[in-house]
Structure 1
Amino acid sequence: MPGTSLRISGGDAVVEYDVTGTGPGLVLVHGTGVGREQWLPLTEAVADRFTVVAPDLSGSGGTTDHGGPLSLADLAEEVLAAADDAGLDTFHLVGHSLGAVTAAHLASTRPGRVRSLALHAGWAYTDTRMDAEFRHWLALLRADAENGTSLFARMLPLMAFGPRYWERTDAAANEELVAALPAVFAPGIARQTEIDRRVDLRPLLGRVTAPTLVLASAHDRLVGADQQRALLAGIPHARYAEIDAGHGAPGEDPAGFAARIAAFLDEQPVSPREGAASAC
């Protein structure tokens, strides 16, 4: 598994990532408490025409670090380090939830590197209501660690999935999902949630130069429409689209989510250098 070392604010980190496919660079940034496996459906959909790099952020998968507090800037530097190590000069950039705010941070601070930007379930800043939600997550995670319960896993489908999930599931299937979820959670989920609590991209959004898709979930209980409006207002060259799902659209509707992102990526122009390479 490829990996690269870098210095982040609290010490050293070694970022592991997958690299798949061929063509223009595409970097995928996962959400809170999961890992690069979140992107397998999208990777399978586009690997025939993109070189896909999917890193694990600190706290997830095979990435290791100092174990202390993290910042959004740390995660953005980890994503860039993986792209550099994979040999990507410029790249398309896609993020979900925490990955979306990380991607927006990277696109605003290194605009020359990012060719297009797709943000699903991202937000401009963590308001009081969102912070209360994240504090609730942390309380559930602490209770689970102390008592061996699965309170966070039981809450997650209620928070993350929209009506279509509940229409096609039953109590037994939902219980099966709840039982399986703790094995999926990244060990650093609480550390990543602390980053969620401190997001404020408002001073940076105007620096994004890449064409941007702000993809909202119609039934997102975590990130409201006001946050999508703030992203659209703050990012030049941004446009809006919506998917009929909850906050966790990549898990609720993997095929539909991948199709939405792939369609946006396929609209982006090919650089002259890539066109010449494809013609060879």
Structure 2
Amino acid sequence: MPAVSLPGTVVDYAVDGEGSALVLVHGVGGDADRAFGNVVAPLSDTRTVVRPNLSGSGATTDDGGPLSVQHFVAQVAGTIRDTASEPVDLLGFSLGAAIAAATAATHPELIRRLILVGGLVHTTGPHDRFNFDFWLDLHDTSFELFKRFAAIQGFSPAMLDVFGHEGLAAALKDEWPHGLRRQIEAATRVDVRAYLPAVTAPTLVIGFTGDQVTPIAATRELAAGIAGSRLVEIADEGHMDWFADPSRIVALTEEFLS
């Protein structure tokens, strides 16, 4: 995979397709393939799809210190500059949505359109802090229990039933990013509310009413903070249901970008 050297970090990324650039930003526990492997083919038919691995994922390296939204923004902006000569479309998922919004606010010259999926806004409230602290405790106590909880919280009951017993058992054998704990720690310190009024790119915000990781209230707050943004709520789906069936997100993305 190609990579870009930046102060304090080397970011590796995947590139597929040809045409105007669409950059995809993953969240906690994701990487270029885990988060976006199912959307590359349909999205790269008519454009160049760029998928950076943020610190803690893939072959990206850094100094090993605490991670922050600002740290990730620098990695995303550096990847954009390394791969595109004109403004790009930017899609962020979960923590990646917060990073994408902050990138659009601080580097408006780099962004044409912005798509935020299941996005975090801040984790200062009781629910989010309690939840991500629990993730850390589970990670440190039993990683196998953490993976089970991530599946139960990340997918809707209906999607878990679609996976079935064998599918769920196979999912527990998945490899997770080596820097997962650092990413979870970063998620406990997210607050991009002050960035949102500075976002000027046309923005689509997508949320899931069955989301237990980033409840729909966070999606609504994200949309309310960005002037002129369009909000789409997908009923009953969980945070990661679209990993299994990305067709709705792909269709909304194609419609918005065209």
Match of 1:200 in 2: 191
Which structure: greater helix fraction?
A: 1
Cα distance in structure 2, aligned partners of 1:100 and 1:88: 23
Q: CA deviation at 1:190?
A: 0.9
C-alpha change, 1:64 and 1:250, in structure 2 (3 Å) is farther
Aligned partner of 1:197: which letter?
T
SS at match of 1:60: coil
Aligned partner of 2:243: which letter?
G
- When the two chains are superposed, the root-mean-square deviation of aligned CA atoms in Å is 1.5
SS at match of 1:241: strand
Where do 1:15-164 residues align within 5 Å? 15-37=11-33, 38-126=35-123, 127-144=125-142, 150-164=144-158
Extract unaligned runs of 5+ from structure 2. none
Cα distance in structure 1, aligned partners of 2:22 and 2:38: 14
Asked if the contact 1:75/1:102 (under 8 Å) is kept, the reply is yes
Asked if the contact 2:68/2:190 (under 8 Å) is kept, the reply is no
SS at match of 1:201: coil
SS at match of 2:67: coil
Cα distance in structure 1, aligned partners of 2:105 and 2:128: 23
Aligned partner of 1:163: which letter?
P
Q: CA deviation at 1:171?
A: 3.2
SS at match of 1:39: coil
Cα distance in structure 2, aligned partners of 1:88 and 1:132: 42
Cα distance in structure 2, aligned partners of 1:14 and 1:237: 35
Aligned length: 255
**For structure 1, which segment, 96-105 or 31-40, has the greater mean C-alpha deviation from structure 2 after superposition?**
31-40
Q: CA deviation at 1:264?
A: 2.1
Q: CA deviation at 1:156?
A: 1.2
Match of 1:2 in 2: 2
Aligned partner of 1:5: which letter?
S
- Structure with greater Cα Rg: 1
Asked if the contact 2:21/2:49 (under 8 Å) is kept, the reply is yes
Match of 1:264 in 2: 256
Please say if 1:222 is aligned against 2:216. Answer: no
C-alpha change, 1:24 and 1:162, in structure 2 (3 Å) is same
Asked if the contact 1:210/1:237 (under 8 Å) is kept, the reply is no
Deviations 1:17-72 (A, max 9, x none): 11111111111101111200122222211212211111000000010111111111
Q: TM-score, length-normalised on structure 2? A: 0.93
Cα distance in structure 2, aligned partners of 1:187 and 1:162: 26
Aligned partner of 1:143: which letter?
T
Cα distance in structure 2, aligned partners of 1:59 and 1:36: 12
Match of 1:176 in 2: 170
Asked if the contact 2:159/2:241 (under 8 Å) is kept, the reply is no
C-alpha change, 1:140 and 1:262, in structure 2 (3 Å) is same
Q: CA deviation at 1:120?
A: 0.6
C-alpha change, 1:206 and 1:163, in structure 2 (3 Å) is same
SS at match of 1:142: helix
SS at match of 1:34: coil
Asked if the contact 1:41/1:255 (under 8 Å) is kept, the reply is no
Match of 2:240 in 1: 248
Q: TM-score, length-normalised on structure 1? A: 0.86
SS at match of 2:134: helix
Match of 1:278 in 2: none
Asked if the contact 2:32/2:53 (under 8 Å) is kept, the reply is yes
**For structure 1, which segment, 13-22 or 222-231, has the greater mean C-alpha deviation from structure 2 after superposition?**
222-231
Identical-residue share of aligned pairs (%) = 37
* Structure 1 residue runs of 4 or more that deviate by more than 4 Å after TM superposition: none
Q: CA deviation at 1:137?
A: 0.6
Cα distance in structure 2, aligned partners of 1:166 and 1:193: 23
Asked if the contact 1:69/1:191 (under 8 Å) is kept, the reply is yes
SS at match of 1:40: coil
Extract unaligned runs of 5+ from structure 1. 267-280
